[in-house]
Amino acid sequence: MSKLYIVATPIGNMGDITLRALEVLKSVDLILCEDTRETKKILNRYDISKETLSYHAQSKLSKTDKIFELLEDGKDLALVSDAGTPGISDPGAMLVSKVKDKLKDVQVIPIPGATALVAALSASGLPTHEFTFLGFLPHKKGRETLFKEIAVSERTMVFYESPHRILKTLESLDKFCPTKKVCLAREITKIYEEFKTGAPLELLEYLKANPVKQKGEFTVLVSS
């Protein structure tokens, strides 16, 4: 029975990879990568010489067929994303779904590790007993609806945001839920990691006053 390993990789700090993940990456026949260049950084860091194949949201159907052929031939594969856990706001989820549906004899094995979602929750200071993860918010259609949902939710709401839209996001949070508590988790595990908590307007003013703080990837947490 061939195996498809879902391998979590670091979200910033290269040291955040498990021993089990390294063992799997060394043992498989091929590594499926969101971006082979990013994965090579990890492989080179840990002296792993392994064939790679790109698989991402724009991959053609022929690429999926190739992966299916490898699994049907008994090859063991590892799926990794650029950072974090494959399948969490990541195109890898589509591949796993297809394998589960079409290749029922293939064993899909998760190799857990870093994910920005859980890391942000653990250090936010906000309630974690119940939360809703929204992934990346839509750019246009449905965006306002989600902010209205966030405003009335009694659970902690978590989503990812890019530096290009973080100011607009805080403006929307101030518009729809100005009294909510917001935690901005920026550049988690990296050199400039920062957790900043306050009301939406307070955080908006903070970022406007410190443009350098607008850079990097954000995990946004919102709670009553």
* Domain 116-223 of CATH type 3.60.15.10: no
Beta strand residue intervals within the chain, DSSP E = 3-7, 30-33, 52-54, 77-80, 107-111, 131-136, 156-161, 181-186, 194-198, 218-223
Residue ranges, comma separated, of all CATH 3.40.1010.10 domains in the chain are 3-111
Predicted TM-score (pTM) of the model is 0.91
**pLDDT tens-digit profile, the chain (224 residues):** 899 999 999 999 999 999 999 999 999 999 999 999 999 999 999 999 999 999 887 777 778 899 999 999 999 999 999 999 998 888 888 899 999 999 999 999 999 999 999 999 999 999 999 999 999 999 888 999 999 999 999 999 999 999 999 999 999 999 999 999 999 999 999 999 999 999 999 999 999 999 999 999 999 999 99
Given the candidates 2.30.30.140, 3.40.50.300, 2.60.120.10, 3.40.1010.10, the CATH classification of the domain at 3-111 is 3.40.1010.10
Distance CA 1, CA 54 (A): 23
Residue ranges, comma separated, of all CATH 3.30.950.10 domains in the chain are 116-223
